[in-house]
Amino acid sequence: MDVSAHDAFILVDMQVDFCPGGALPVRDGDRVIPVLNRWLKPFTDARRPVFASRDWHPPHHVSFRERGGPWPPHCVQHTPGAAFHPDLAIPEGTVIISKGSDPERDAYSAFDGTDLTRRLLALDIRRLTVGGLAQDYCVHATVLEALAEGFAVRLLQEGTRPVEVQPGDGERALAEMREAGAEIVTGEQP
Ligand code: VGL
Ligand code: ZN
């Protein structure tokens, strides 16, 4: 894969709560970790910027079931479940983008309510390579917003997995991202 001066890597919500055993587990969510570790290598070798988004909810967030939301409590700020998965080799210098911190409003996209666009433009980034969880929620929303903001997107198919509240959500999300202009890159390694 080519990595140029206009490329950055976006790791979406690779947190303990989205992996097996967590509060809102994505089936085989942890299987993407070695894949992402391998794909990160050409970016760190080329000293390209890496961003890691995290779901970062206050207790009693509006998206939680206790408040009539769709999700069990997950990724509560400063709890072990909100931590990045320990097996993910987060490169030195990775910029953490926290989202979903407003108690009254959910945010799936890493761009939603964050300064990600401004940071990317400041670095003259034009193309994003994206992987993480979940394919049908935060990855989907992040990819669509990136494209709408004018960034090119390469989505790592083996670097993402869906939570699939409804069967087929993962496939539908993938098709929508492709139709919106994302390049779907296959392979367990670069
Ligand atoms: C996510 C559901 C709720 C995600 C976050 O990261 O995809 N999904 N909050
Ligand atoms: Zn959430």
Over the stretch 150-190, which tens digit does the pLDDT of each residue have? 999 999 999 999 999 999 999 999 999 999 999 999 999 99
To the query of whether residue 41 is one of the catalytic residues in this protein, the response is no
Euclidean distance between CA atoms 106 and 112, whole angstroms: 9
How much is the pLDDT for 144? Answer: 99
Q: Kindly state the average pLDDT of the residues 12-36.
A: 98
Report the atom number in ligand 1 closest to the C-alpha of 140: 7
On whether the CB atoms of residues 166 and 70 are closer than 8 A, the answer is no
Q: Is the pLDDT of residue 1 over 90?
A: no
Which of these is catalytic: 7, 30, 55, 99? 99
User: Could you report the per-residue pLDDT of 112-128, keeping only the tens digit for each?
Assistant: 999 999 999 999 999 99
Instruction: Tell me the sheet residues that pair with 172.
Output: none
Tell how far the Cα of 110 is from the centroid of ligand 1, in angstroms.
Answer: 11
